[in-house]
Amino acid sequence: MSEVSIYHNPRCSKSRQTLQLLEQRDIQPKVIDYLNNPLAADELKDLLHKLGFISARELMRSKETIYKEMNLASVTDEEALLDAMAAHPKLMERPVVVCNGRARLGRPPEAVLDILP
């Protein structure tokens, strides 16, 4: 069976629901606490590719206070957005499930089902 990973925030209800959905299907994913182990900018870029996203903004939580404080809405440089997410992992939308070189954002949790083995 392919390894399944989840970028997880235990305080987030969607993240908990997505993890539960995986476990109900007898999938024990590698749980990555991205808040305490932030992704580097190049890892975020790879994750964006797996998600099929064009812009880092698609993976950003635009309602976070830090997003507004850093005035990220006006930033157009993709590298700057990736660097901001790497420095402030709270900006990354969650949960993200990765399997077989593909990824899905678990919003809603069922969205991850199409990449699972």
What residues are labeled active site? 12
CA proximity to 47, closest of 3, 6, 98, 114: 98
Please say whether the beta carbons of 8 and 32 come within 8 A: yes
What CA–CA distance (Å, rounded) separates 49 from 45? Answer: 6
